[in-house]
């Protein structure tokens, strides 16, 4: 039996494909912007289900009390208590997190950037 996450991904994927193939092409020009926003939102939701919680992986990788949540980590970086000197993999961890977030919210930017 499929998990609820798998089922949600499958349903969202089907909804997005159906929307793009069946509904979007026939919309009048006045509805194109709303249509693009809707399709983009569905795509982000699907990618978020496929790649859950990149911030959790970042916080686990950094560890410690400074990384109990994203706000605390940001404050610790600003204060200098978390830096490349204290966490040798900080830059790599932040780049990995950013790439994971972009893969969800703006994959085309990520593809252009890596090309």
pLDDT digits (tens, 9 = 90+) for 78-109: 999 999 998 988 999 999 999 999 999 999 99
Give Cα separations from 113 to 47, 72, 84, 92, 105 (angstroms). 19, 29, 24, 17, 14
Domain containing 14 equals: 4-50
Instruction: Say whether both 78 and 31 belong to one domain.
Output: no
Say if residue 4's pLDDT is above 90. no
0.85 surpassed by pTM: no
Vertex 13 angle, CA 8 and 16, to 5°: 125
Instruction: Say whether both 59 and 94 belong to one domain.
Output: yes
Residue 65 is predicted with a pLDDT of: 83
Q: Which residue has the tokens 């990995």?
A: 96
- Residue 97 CB neighbour total at 10 angstroms: 20
Instruction: Say whether both 29 and 77 belong to one domain.
Output: no
Instruction: Say whether both 106 and 64 belong to one domain.
Output: yes
Q: Region 3-28: what's the mean pLDDT?
A: 90
**How far apart are the C-alpha atoms of 62 and 93, rounded to whole Å?**
8
User: How many structural domains comprise the chain?
Assistant: 2
Say if residue 1's pLDDT is above 70. no
Q: What is the pLDDT of residues 38-85, one digit of tens each?
A: 999 999 999 999 888 899 999 999 988 888 999 999 999 999 999 999
Instruction: Say whether both 36 and 20 belong to one domain.
Output: yes
**How far apart are the C-alpha atoms of 60 and 38, rounded to whole Å?**
33
Q: Helical H runs in 19-80?
A: 32-50, 54-62, 70-79
Say if residue 31's pLDDT is above 80. yes
Residue 79 is predicted with a pLDDT of: 94
């Amino acid at each position: 039996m499929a998990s609820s996450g798998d089922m949600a991904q499958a349903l969202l994927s089907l909804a997005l494909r159906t929307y793009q193939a069946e509904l979007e092409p026939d919309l009048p020009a006045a509805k194109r912007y709303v249509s693009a926003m809707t399709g983009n939102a569905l795509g982000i939701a699907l990618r978020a289900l496929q790649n859950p919680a990149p911030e959790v992986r970042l916080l686990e990788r950094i560890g410690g009390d400074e990384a109990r949540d994203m706000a605390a980590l940001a404050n610790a970086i600003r204060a200098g208590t978390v830096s490349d000197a204290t966490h040798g993999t900080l830059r790599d961890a932040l780049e990995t997190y950013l790439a994971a977030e972009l893969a969800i919210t703006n994959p085309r930017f990520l593809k252009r950037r890596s090309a």
